[in-house]
Each structure stands twice: as C-alpha cells, then as structure tokens.
Amino acid sequence: MEHTKKRTISIGITWFILTLLVGVVLVGCGVKEQPITTDNTALLEMDLFKPSSNCIACHQGMKDNLGNDVSINTEWQSSIMANAARDPYYLASVRMEMQESPQYAEAIEEKCATCHAPMALFTNHAKGESTILLGQQGILAEEHPLYALAVDGVSCSVCHQIPENPADNLRHSGDLGIDLNLSAAERLIFGAFPISEQNVALMKAASDFTAVQSDHVRQSEVCATCHELYLNYVKEDSTLSSGDELFYEQTPYSEWLASDFVDQLSCQDCHMPSAEGAVSISNITPENLYEPFARHTFTGGNVFMLDLFEQFSDELGISESAAELDEHSWRTEEYLQNQTATLAVSAVEQVDDTLTFEVGIEVLTGHKFPTSFPSRRTWLHVTVSDAQGKLIFESGGYDETGEIFGNENDQNPLAYEPHYELISAPDQVQIYEPIMKNVLGEVTTVQMHAAGYIKDNRLLPNGFDKQNPPSVSTVVGEALQDPTFTGGSDSLIYQVQTDGAKGPFTVQVDLLYQSVSYRWAQNLLDSQTEESQTFGRMLEKTGNNPVLIASQTVQSQ
C-alpha cells in the first residue's frame, strides 16, 4: 500500500516536470497551446501570475458524491468571470466612456482593466507601465505579449493571491492587495483547505507559488475588492471629483453588511454552491478528500450575456463548448428563479367597474435585487383578461429588444419611471432599478458623468433599514416614503377599470429581470463606435428578452 502511494507520487512529480519542460497545456481540455518564451518580460509575468491553463493539470477530473463533474476549470471557464475581458457589452461601454471623456481615456482604460483583465494590468504596473486596453496597441490585441493573460479574465492566480483583508480597512474598487514586489520564491497562493508539505512542493514545482491554507478565501471581503466599486466623476468644470466626491457604482458588499445575511451566508455560499459531499481537489492526490468544496461556478444573474457568448463563441474567442455555455446559462436562470424573489397576488376584489388587487414581493437575496452594475432592472408585467380571454389591461409589456412599453426612460433618455404605491393606468410600470444622474441632475448612463442616483428603489434584502442605510447604498426617490417598501419585501395596489367587461377576470403577474436594460443598450448603440456596432450586431441576433423570475395567476370571484 505504502509502495503504491510513493509510486503514484513519483509518477505525478515526473509527469509535472515533463509537462513544464515541453509546455503541454492540455489541448484536449479546450485550452490553447502557449508558446514557451524565455525573455525577461515573460519571466516577470510568470513570477506574478499564471494563466488558468497551468492549473488544469492538477485540478481537473473532479467528481462529487453523485458523480457530477465539479472540476474547477470546467465550471469557471464558462462563467462571466472567466470571460470578463471578452464581454462585447463591456468593451463597447469602455469605448463609449472614452469617447465621452477623451481627456480621461487612459484613466478609464486603467480602471476598467483592473477587474476585467487584472493579470495583464498588474503585470504592467510591476513594470512601471500603464495599460492600454483597446485598439491595436491594447492588451486585448492578439499580437500583444500580454494578450493571453488579459483574455484569461478573472483567473485562478488573481483571486487566490488576494491576501486577507485588514480588519479596519475594507479594500474596494479594484484594490486587490496583491504585492507586486514579491519574488517568485516569496509569492503565496491561498486556499481554503489544509495542505500537506508534499502538495506544497508539488504546487511549487508546477506553478512557482507557495500554497498556504487560509480561511479568508471563504469570506465576502475577497469579493468586495471588485464588487464594491466607487468611482470619480466629471464635474461641471470638466475636472474629476476627488476625496469623498465619489459615485457608488455598485455596493453589494455594503448591502450585505446591512442585511440579516451578514451572520448567515457569505457571497461564496450563494455564488459558489457546495458540491455534494467530499471532493478530491487534486488528481495527483485523489485519496485526499475535502468537504465542503465550493464549486467554481460563480453563478450570477447575466443570462443575457451567457446566451450571447454561446451564439458568438468563435468570434469572441471563447473555447468552451456550446453545451458548457448552455449549461451555465441554464444554471444561472434556475438560480434567478429560485434564489432572488417570489411574488403573491392577493385581495382580488371587484366593486362596480373597478377591479382591485395587491401584488406582494418577497426578497430572497442578501443584497439589493437587482444589484451590481446599474444597467440591471426588474419589473412587474401585469395583465388582466375578461371571461372570454380578452385583454383589458396590461402594464409592463415588452418586446424582444428589451423595451418596456409605457416606461418613460425607454421612450426618453432624459426621463424615468417613478416608484409606485398604486398603479391604475397601463402607462404606469413598477420598475425596480437605479437611475443615475449627472452633476446637473440629468438622467445619464455614462458612468464618468454619474454623480449619484435620482432613483434607487431596488428591492432590499431582509434586515436592511432604509431609514438608516449604509452611506454608500441609500434608497432614493418615492420608495423612501413608501411604507410597504421595506427590508425583504414590497407591495403595491393595482386598480383596473373593467368598463363593463364580464368576469370572472384572470390576473397574471410576472416578475421579470433584465441584466442590460433597453436604455443602457440604446445609448451604447447611439455612440456608434466600432465596439458598439459589434455589440449591436450581436444584440440584434440574440435579442434582449428578460428572464422570468416568478409568476402567479389568479381569478376574481
């Protein structure tokens, strides 16, 4: 038994040495072969980061107790995280921001690359160089020496190099805390599980990193480094804001801190669900089983982009199969439908020609819903039909472009739909969304112009006190005064004029979600940059239909 174990270890080390010598990167796993280079620049890049292809050899072929493949690379590769630098909406947004504020183009590219192409950006920083993201000289140009690191997105050796966060200092806005001055011999890679000296040696030989066990990788603070984002904005005199003059672009971490979830679930608990039972995290030492193992699915809410990835994978250089991308899209849709919100229709009553009913929403998330990037919105689509099935009322209808009928903001880029406690007309729509404003108080979707919000009625997590919110995440607009809009829920009344139609009436209510709202997409297309035209072509084929979150149908008496 002992002899067999030693022989297995010996074979594993030999295999690793051969792998490193000949540069094999498992083409069969869908990873492109990387040429071996020996110049000083390449050595520096290898010291700081390793592409995900270096991690596949050990962390592949992993199965849970049900036989499901929970291999880290397989599940990560089809995620938004892995393809963060390939996202055509993101690329078009960066270009539009640069077009709107050309004097700050370099700062925009630097900031946007920090969390979308971090390995390339921090490699440049270690060399004392700034980062160009787009164009022929940019890191996303295929001939650029940092291209492979750039398009690897938010990769293994980024997240697992983030050190423990100081208790008195929350790192945010892309401050990953990675020490760029450490030599290869000093560079640490953090993992959740205890690691033996044998496996430390194996990882050192394969990656140059020294593996260290640390529980902080299971904590929400790791995610906050990018998903708590504060930005400077352009003021009236065209200078940039400074000091405490910041736009709080996304704040899910602060929202979570203000919720009941802070003592119950971390970001990882929801977005990296546990595998079924114990898992061998390395195929070199398969006898070592660990539980709970957090699957690297990074399930979020962007079904729209995952579907676009699937349709245009070849053009975008995404190596995952259509089946893998489809599975990730399905997993995301299921997640949205089971872990975000529920709704209920109640108190259906008819008095003369007025049908009245109440719609209540219960929030399941540990942060605002929707949260993160402010292009996201969720809304109520309500229809009422008479006894013959004829539609007599509709609020929140939409088409495949993603436009919501009756929504002020979709019809007019300078307008927006208010928050409602009572809806009595078809052109009134309850939309839970953030609406940004510039320094003049005008509606905008340009982040460099965003000085705050003119509306923010996104659904609140349980425990969130809207009267005493985090300073970075307040409720803005009519929802602040709505007594039914509270932590964990909202409700509103619908009054529908039946105009002599005969009942019983059928009321159907759908809660819908969109990760890129119509106005945000339209403003991007109107910029007419090369990147926006690429996105527009893809959007036209993919469409922008929302995801159905929850639905209920009831009949009047």
Q: What is the pLDDT of residues 178-218, one digit of tens each?
A: 999 888 788 999 999 999 898 899 888 888 899 999 999 99
What would the pLDDT profile of 245-263 be if each residue is shown by its tens digit? 999 999 999 999 999 999 9
Comparing CA positions, the residue from 481, 420, 490 lying closest to residue 459 is 490
The parent domain of residue 355 ranges over 340-555
Higher pLDDT, 6 or 157: 157
Q: Is the pLDDT of residue 22 over 60?
A: no
Q: Is the pLDDT of residue 526 over 70?
A: yes
Query: What is the structure's pLDDT at 369?
Result: 98
What would the pLDDT profile of 465-500 be if each residue is shown by its tens digit? 999 999 999 999 999 999 999 999 999 999 999 999
- Categorize the per-residue pLDDT at 17 as very low, low, confident or very high, splitting at 50, 70 and 90: very low
Domain assignment present for residue 247? The answer is no
Query: What is the structure's pLDDT at 205?
Result: 87
Q: Is the pLDDT of residue 294 over 50?
A: yes
As a whole number, mean pLDDT of residues 8-20 equals 39
Domain assignment present for residue 193? The answer is no
- Cβ proximity of 429 and 396 under 8 Å: yes
Tokens of 343: 């709704």
Query: What is the structure's pLDDT at 167?
Result: 72
Region of poorest pLDDT, from 24-33, 384-393, 439-448? 24-33
Rounded to two decimals, the pTM is: 0.92
Q: Is the pLDDT of residue 164 over 90?
A: yes
- Cβ proximity of 546 and 514 under 8 Å: yes
pLDDT mean across residues, the chain: 91
Measured CA distances, 332 to 44, 272, 300, 310 (Å): 37, 12, 6, 14
- Cβ proximity of 262 and 487 under 8 Å: no
pLDDT over 70 for what percent of the chain?
A: 92
Q: Is the pLDDT of residue 460 over 70?
A: yes
- Cβ proximity of 193 and 215 under 8 Å: no
- Cβ proximity of 219 and 192 under 8 Å: no
Query: What is the structure's pLDDT at 42?
Result: 53
Q: Which residue has the tokens 């208010």?
A: 418
- Categorize the per-residue pLDDT at 47 as very low, low, confident or very high, splitting at 50, 70 and 90: confident
Which SS3 state, helix, strand or coil, does residue 162 take?
coil
Q: Is the pLDDT of residue 5 over 60?
A: no
CA dist 285 and 197 (Å) reads: 12
Query: What is the structure's pLDDT at 37?
Result: 34
Our measurement of the distance from residue 455's CA atom to the centroid of its chain's CA atoms, rounded to an integer in Å, reads: 22
317: left (phi over 0), alpha (psi -120 to 50) or beta: left
As a whole number, mean pLDDT of residues 145-159 equals 96
Domain assignment present for residue 526? The answer is yes
378: phi then psi, degrees, rounded to nearest 5: -135, 150
Strands (E) across 396-433 are located at: 422-423, 431-432
Query: Sign of dihedral through CA atoms 252, 257, 261, 266?
Result: positive
Domains: count for the chain: 1
Which SS3 state, helix, strand or coil, does residue 115 take?
helix
Comparing CA positions, the residue from 404, 411, 452 lying closest to residue 431 is 404
453: phi then psi, degrees, rounded to nearest 5: -120, 140
Domain assignment present for residue 290? The answer is no
- Categorize the per-residue pLDDT at 336 as very low, low, confident or very high, splitting at 50, 70 and 90: very high
Q: Which residue has the tokens 């997640």?
A: 335
Domain assignment present for residue 389? The answer is yes
483: phi then psi, degrees, rounded to nearest 5: -65, -20
Domain assignment present for residue 369? The answer is yes
Q: Is the pLDDT of residue 15 over 80?
A: no
Domain assignment present for residue 500? The answer is yes
DSSP-assigned states of every residue in 466-514: TTS--TTS--BSGGGG-TT-BTTEEEEEEEEE-TT--SPPEEEEEEEEE
Count of other CB atoms within 10 angstroms of residue 242: 9
CA dist 51 and 35 (Å) reads: 13
Q: How much of the chain is in helix, strand and coil states, percent to nearest 5?
A: 35, 20, 45
As a whole number, mean pLDDT of residues 385-397 equals 98
As a whole number, mean pLDDT of residues 523-549 equals 98
Query: What is the structure's pLDDT at 221?
Result: 95
Q: ∠ CA(462), CA(463), CA(468), 5° rounding? A: 130
Domain assignment present for residue 462? The answer is yes
What would the pLDDT profile of 105-121 be if each residue is shown by its tens digit? 999 999 999 999 999 99
- Categorize the per-residue pLDDT at 16 as very low, low, confident or very high, splitting at 50, 70 and 90: very low
